[in-house]
Chain A
């Protein structure tokens, strides 16, 4: 089954404690991205990757890092989480250009206290 898997689904952490949210896709997609969803703001792109070792900033990259060492994995790293990073996070992948549909993971609800 084609899918994007994120872990964990829920996470409560404290300010400053480094964390990683993993994302893996089994569709051999080249393009992967991370979004955060906040009330009244919709989905905003954090980072994206067009292929292995190729990553770039989205609209809200501050406080986040990513890496793309393998095609299937695209982890999101919060080196020093802060309360304003409390949000619902989605990883997505797609096969090619903007005219191809994206497949989303089920989301990770992060709370930073």
Chain B
């Protein structure tokens, strides 16, 4: 059972426009969410995170929104740049479990067209 889902395997966006990547989860005990970016032949790198006590976190061009009632989070990239082309993974964790474990989604491949 996939507890963290990224239903869009791929997304194409024109340079300068907004990219919106979505992530849904099923476990209401998740209390921390992260986004990682992965380029080919490299390991994932941390992008941005959000705690369940917030509904928005911003870092430069990247903003993550959390809708707890819908169990949904999204990553907005504005404006999108060709260098943003990568696979994006969302991840969720349940801090109260004490295992410090992340559950990752299946990833969305973003392609920003110049």
Stretch at the interface among A12-20, A62-70, A73-81, A100-108: A100-108
Chain B residues in 8 Å Cβ range of A90: 43-44
Identity of the chain B residue whose Cβ is nearest the Cβ of A39 in the assembled complex: B106
Give B74-114 interface residues, CB cut-off 8 Å to A: 89, 91, 93-95, 99-102, 104-107
Stretch at the interface among B14-22, B45-53, B61-69: B45-53
The main secondary structure of chain A at its interface with chain B is strand
B95 near A97 (CB under 8 angstroms)? yes
A1 to B19, CA, bound (A): 31
B99 near A48 (CB under 8 angstroms)? yes
A76 to B100, CA, bound (A): 19
B95 near A107 (CB under 8 angstroms)? no
Chain A residues in 8 Å Cβ range of B107: 42-43
Chain A residues in 8 Å Cβ range of B99: 48, 50, 56
B100 near A106 (CB under 8 angstroms)? no
Per a CB cutoff under 8 Å, which of A41, A45, A94, A106 touches B42? Answer: A106
Q: Mark A3-35, 1 if CB is under 8 A from B, else 0.
A: 010000000000000000000000000010001
Q: Taking beta carbons and an 8 Å cutoff, which residues of B are in contact with A?
A: 4, 6, 9, 32, 34, 36, 41-46, 49, 51, 89, 91, 93-95, 99-102, 104-107
Q: Taking beta carbons and an 8 Å cutoff, which residues of A are in contact with B?
A: 4, 31, 35, 40-45, 48, 50, 56, 58, 90, 92, 94, 96-99, 101-107
Q: Which 10 A-B residue pairs are closest in the complex by CB-CB distance? A: A104-B43, A98-B93, A101-B46, A42-B106, A43-B104, A42-B104, A98-B100, A99-B32, A104-B44, A106-B43
Given contacts A97-B100, A99-B32, A102-B36, 11 further A-B contacts (CB under 8 A): A4-B43, A43-B107, A92-B43, A98-B93, A98-B100, A99-B49, A99-B95, A103-B46, A104-B44, A105-B43, A107-B41
